[in-house]
Structure 1
Amino acid sequence: MAKQTEGAGVSSSKVLEQLRGKHVLVTGTTGFLGKVVLEKLIRAVPDIGGIHLLIRGNKRHSDARGRFLNEIATSSVFDRLRQENGEAFETFLEERLHCVTGEVTQPDFGLQPDAFRKLAGDIDAVINSAASVNFREELDKALSINTQCLQNIARLAHQNPTLVVVQVSTCYVNGMNSGQITESVIKPAGEDIPRSPSGFYEIEELIRVLNDIIADVRSRYSGKILQRKLVDLGIREANRYGWSDTYTFTKWLGEQLLMKALEGRALTILRPSIIESALEEPAPGWIEGVKVADAIILAYAREKVTLFPGKRSGIIDVIPVDLVANSIILAAAEALGEPPRPRIYQCCSGSSNPVSLGDFIDHLMAEAKTNYAAYENLFYRRPVKPFIAVNRSLFDALVSGARIPLSLTRSMMRLVGMLGQGGELKILQNLDTTRSLATVFGFYTAPDYIFRNDDLLALASRMGEVDKALFPVDARQIDWAVYLRKIHLAGLNRYALKARKAQRPRTSRIRKQAA
């Protein structure tokens, strides 16, 4: 943890100067990105006034402080802080880390009016990274956490007119638009939605209609059927207006809600692309859980998927989580020091340092072939079949063909490496896995868009060389071969996957059976 100092490096940092003495509310710290933002603020911004965390209680820990200490503070994301200066870290948690027990989807976070007003008055900025990133979430849940709960953020700002709001969104609010996607308000690619002269889209009537449809579905179904109907409803409505899934649709709606509610105030929307493991901080490869690309990597490593719909020449926009956290902190510092206005930044790699889906796959297969044994939690053995990306039409034909008597498609399956020693049942099980992953992620592996981050890079330049070093955001520093093969796979193996249970020797099992 950095020491509080007035040294030359610190004093010439615009970010550290703007955040000195400031109090920042961070939501979503039970999640992957939120933890990295929190860790970086504690470690790299020594003179921050305080960090406030909104955390929901759960069955094990009814209050925010208890849940933080037992479920968040124990995370390996803080290993570096503990190793560098554990005493200072613990002191920070005691003196400048403030936990607020609340629920983002409840009116005023579920706080009493006086407590809500006090929270608004105590903070200078809010970083909202809370979200449901389930691409196929039930529509009511996705609307609640990704859209409607942002009314609470707006009410905070209305209680405190100088409050800076940084809303974490996603580059994929671009939906089904193609081409160069700039850091601007996104026009829906589907049915028309009225647009305000101020630039944002008027969504109140659309949300009312969606809630009416949800209420109708709820009145007619229950249990698992209701859940499935609400998932299907979300996908159908997202497709109607130009999005591939409920997550990106409701995140776009959230952007519009905040742009209208905070018109004329300090609002920055920060859109990351596909967030993956850390490039450098807090440790190379640090990750929590299995992310978007990792579900496909894991299925390939376990030999469940060798065929996937995708465009090898398409740019798969991946960005390390530490670059995203740095972008958020840069954006907050800028908004604290500049006149209030709406800003949009995209933290991505596609326009400045692109990696194609084909190169992504080739790096994965090369590392699996030459070094699989180094990743004992990821690869149980050396994969013997290639990972093949094919166009959607061929993929659908192959998957559908497997439901015909398998003897008719056996030769075709052998050509693409999907006929294994486990027989027809294993083939069908693997095809089910492939089809399931393709349903969720297929849109992201056949991109015909490129995200631009010109404005974010310009922000980094305005902040100066010191902040470029302290809070790097430029994807051009990534060597994709090194990152994908040596950093990301190692991070998955170490941080995201559990160690395999020790296997008893085969001979001991035989002896036990004989006895």
Structure 2
Amino acid sequence: MKLRERLEGKRMLLTGVTGFVGEALLHRILRDLPDTHVVALVRRKGSLSGRSRMEQVLNKPIFEQVRERYAGDLSALLDARVTVLEGDLSDVPALPNDLDIVIHCAGDVSFDPPINQAFQTNVLGTEQLLRRILDSGSNAHYVHVSTAYVSGRRRGAIPEGPVEHDADWRTEAHWGLAMRDRIEETSRAPGVLAKLRRAAERDHLRAGPITSAQDTERRRKEWVDKKLVEAGGERARSLGWTDVYTFTKALGERVVEEVGAPLPVTIMRPSIIESALETPFPGWIEGFKMAEPLILAYGRGELPEFPASPDSQCDVVPVDHVVNATLAAASVLPEPGTPAYFQVTSGARNPLIFARLFDLIREYFDKNPFDMGERGAVRLPIWRFPGGERVERTLVLGERAHKAADFLVTHAPRGDRVRKLARELDQQQRRLDFLRRYHDLYRAYLETELVFTDDNTWALFHGLDPEDQREFSFDITTFDWHYYLVELHCPAVTESMRKYDVIRRRRGRSAPQVAKQLPQGEGIVAAFDMDGTLLSSNVVETYLWLRMPELDGQGRAREVGALLRRMPGFLNAERKDRGRFLRAVYRRYAGADFQELERLVDDSLSQHVLERVSAAALRRVREHRAAGHRTVLITGAIRPLTRPLEPLFDEIIAADLAIDDRGRCTGFLTRPPLVGEARAAWLRRFALQNDFDLAKSYAYADSHSDLPMLRAVGRPVAVSPDVTLWREARKGRWPVEDWKTSSSVSRLTLPGANGGSSS
């Protein structure tokens, strides 16, 4: 009997239809099994109902032929062929009692999920689905899609049968779920929080305590997730599995064997599932599976070595072979209480070793290299397969060197060269993170010494009608690896990256820029920082501008010497708390005549200040004013220094020096300097009082300490930023601009007492 006839009139429940295997399975049924009806378990996602998500799946190109049979009417297609059952494995709804077959191919397929998630999906989700089938009263044939790697870290031939182990799935599941609460509790312990807080403050204290606190909480959540992953991995390895994925999939099989005993049960064990050989079309793949990140990294020259044994097997199967074998197994009813096992693998009959895999991938990229623009074609690394231990040592050395280099860059004076070095270091960090992740995840798979037997699968295939053997083939011996990898798989997985490279080259590597035409309107604020943003200056420089003209030669030397002695303390204060740094500098104004400071600015410094303002900055301020925006200068500089800029701004917020009854500066301020989070708070209150829309407003700043102000608006711009702010801007896709002072203006030039200058 042919496969269509065996499955004719069957009602088949599918889980995981929005995933890779589930989608391919759904396509095969709808296209080639016209008398089989699908009941799809689809969970709601946000505002999208289960039916809406199913419509999204059916709108994909591979279903075009199926849609044409219903004149493109998705509702008609769904009504005729698919019943959508909204639900999730964590909350399986009541199932209909007329199901003939259930194919369960949903699950957490990442190798390192948090332990609680892995158990919830792969173990308890399977249990709940089985109990719902039993509760429905149907005697459905339950087909469970597992993985060949449930065998764990065994060696030699792996049979098609139950995995021998003593792990109790109930005990382990209870422990796995409880770990979430335990680790959450530990994450709030004083020692852990103190360590996380100190790390956050090292990076963000200059921006303010709330910014540091927010980053501390982010780090705590990441710590929880990391520990949950580590807990699962260690428990799995302690029991002989490679990772928590294979561990929970093995326990899921034990659930099937126990809870599903009253039902006819089949367990499918595919190995590494990759792109299609024929159906839906040659090379079809969705998303990145196990091999794709490694193939792409090698093709881009970012995978210098591989921790695999060259003679170990890489067991890969095309997705359509898995789908065809699953449908064939679903059509054969086993006896209840005696599960049937089928391993859909390649190693026993068409082995592929890693040395051969490397040769084929290199051959493809030799002929079809990635084009890196001006740098030309990528230079491909040659793998020597030195072994996992040596690769690990090389990786550790690279991580240590990167950490030292990154410390130097983040503490270096800002500039184009420093930001370029930071960009290169960030690229290196991504490569190191990639290598670390895949080295840790895949090493156990890359040094395996096992072969999956497939005698049951082989017999299943030869039990098919000859026509079905051609149309629903899963004979792994019928194709060669050169054709599959070089002609189909590599072109398929590199296609999207090649398209992205073309788009990236067209756009250029520059960061997004502020629109040339600013939006018109009165409800918009444009807030500007001064030192380092509008002016190529800093607080110490501007202090010298005001103090040097009134001193003679010896006085200048003493003042500069005193500042140099204080500079380490200034720098330390500035890194930790910009407000404290400003207060320390402004103490040196004690005894100065305030009116004389203002006169000095008006008579001697105005031209010098305006010469230090970037021409690009002047244009931007004027553009905002012409667009009807309220321009605001928010600076930690003392107010007299802002007098030359008054015509440019509607509001100026500056540091006000306290004055005694003789008109002399006391060395204190009238209120705390507006820095870090205080700037953001002022801007929010200003917008609220004057009915401005911060979501449409702009902020321009150069320092990481201004991060809260930049985050307070919808259109932040980083101007000649320090490395930390530059990295935040790249994360947020903020525009990054360089506003440079004219090259004719020297930073070593100080204004003279009579309007001239001195060096």
Q: Same fold (TM over 0.5)?
A: yes
Where does 1:145-224 land on structure 2 (aligned, <5 Å)?
145-158=121-134, 159-188=136-165, 192-193=166-167, 202-221=168-187, 223-224=221-222
Identify which of 66, 76, 81 aligns with 2:61: 76
Quick one: distance in 2 between partners of 1:93 and 1:425?
Answer: 48
Structure showing greater radius of gyration is 2
Q: How does 1:110-509 map to 2 (within 5 A)?
A: 111=93, 116=94, 119-158=95-134, 159-188=136-165, 192-193=166-167, 202-221=168-187, 223-335=221-333, 339-340=335-336, 341-372=338-369, 381-403=377-399, 429-494=430-495, 499-500=500-501, 501=503, 503-504=505-506
- Render the CA deviation track for 1:315-340: whole Å, top value 9, x for unaligned: 100000000001110111112xx543
Alpha-carbon displacement from aligned partner over 1:178-213 (angstroms, at most 9, x marks no partner): 11111111124xxx43xxxxxxxx432333333344
Conserved? CA contact 1:305–1:431, under 8 Å = no
Q: Distance in 1 between matches of 2:507 and 2:431?
A: 28
Q: Indicate how the Cα distance of structure 1 residues 346 and 66 shifts in structure 2: closer, same or farther if over 3 A, else same.
A: same
The aligned counterpart of 2:71 is 87
Tell me whether 488-497 or 390-399 shows the greater mean CA deviation.
Answer: 488-497
8 Å contact kept, 1:304–1:433: no
Structure scoring higher RCO (CA < 8 A, sep ≥ 6) equals 1
| Aligned mate of 2:17, from 29, 43, 54 | 29
Q: CA deviation at 1:161?
A: 4.4
d(CA) in 1 for partners of 2:84, 2:380: 50
C-alpha offsets along residues 23-63 of structure 1, whole Å, 9 cap, x if unaligned? Answer: 00100011000000000011111221x101111111241x2
Q: Return the letter of the residue paired with 2:397.
A: G
Asked whether the 8 Å contact 1:268–1:331 carries over to 2, the reply is yes
Q: Distance in 1 between matches of 2:499 and 2:109?
A: 22
Secondary structure at 2:34 match in 1: coil
TM superposition shift of 1:127 = 0.6
Query: How far apart, CA to CA, are the structure 2 residues paired with 1:389 and 1:481?
Result: 21
1:54 aligns with 2:41: yes
* Deviations 1:118-175, CA, capped at 9 Å, x for gaps: x331311111111111111000001001110112221133133421100110011111
In 2, the alpha carbon distance for the partners of 1:58 and 1:287 equals: 23
C-alpha displacement of 1:494: 3.9
Q: Distance in 2 between matches of 1:24 and 1:502?
A: 45
SS at match of 1:344: strand
Aligned-residue RMSD, C-alpha: 3.0
| Alignment deviations for residues 75-112 of structure 1 (CA, whole Å, 9 cap, x no partner) | 233245457x4638854433121111111112xx1x3x
In the superposition, relative to structure 1, how do residues 155 and 428 fare at CA in structure 2: closer, same or farther (>3 Å)? closer
Question: Quick one: distance in 2 between partners of 1:404 and 1:494?
Answer: 35
2:186 alignment partner AA:
R
| Contact 2:116-2:177 within 8 A present in 1 as well | yes
Equivalent position to 1:65, from 31, 45, 51: 51
**How many angstroms does 1:17 deviate by?**
1.7
What's the secondary structure of 2:332's corresponding residue? helix
Aligned position for 1:197: none
Query: Is the 1:302–1:380 contact (alpha carbons within 8 Å) kept by the matching residues of 2?
Result: no
SS at 2:343's partner residue?
strand
What's 1:9 paired with? none
Contact 1:81 1:89 (C-alpha < 8 Å) held by counterparts: no
Larger mean CA deviation between 284-293 and 90-99 belongs to 90-99
State the partner residue of 1:20. 8
Deviation at 1:488, TM superposition (A): 0.4
Structure 2 unaligned blocks of 5 or more:
188-219, 403-422, 517-736, 739-759
Which residue identity lines up with residue 304 of structure 1 in the other structure?
A: E
SS at match of 1:283: coil
- One-letter code aligned to 1:55: V
2: CA distance between counterparts of 1:393 and 1:498?
Answer: 37
Q: Kindly tell me: are residues 145 and 259 of structure 1, through their superposed partners in 2, closer, same or farther at Cα, counting changes over 3 Å?
A: same
Q: 1:150 to 1:426 in 2, by over 3 A?
A: closer
Question: TM-score, normalised on structure 1?
Answer: 0.82
- Once the 2 structures are TM-superposed, how far is the Cα of residue 403 of structure 1 from its aligned partner? 4.7
CA separation in 2, counterparts of 1:100 and 1:485? 41
Q: Secondary structure at the match of 2:291?
A: helix
In 2: Cα distance, 1:261 partner to 1:467 partner? 33
**Do the aligned residues in 2 keep the contact of 1:288 with 1:495 (CA within 8 Å)?**
no
Does the CA contact (< 8 Å) of 2:160 and 2:341 recur in 1? yes
CA contact (8 A) 1:183 1:344 kept: yes
Mapped contact 1:271–1:345 kept (Cα < 8 A)? yes
8 Å contact kept, 1:29–1:53: yes
Percent identity, aligned pairs only, is 28
Q: What is the aligned length?
A: 458
Task: Name the CA distance, whole Å, in 2 between partners of 1:96 and 1:231.
Answer: 40
Higher mean Cα deviation, 213-222 or 360-369? 213-222
Indicate the SS of the match to 1:390: coil
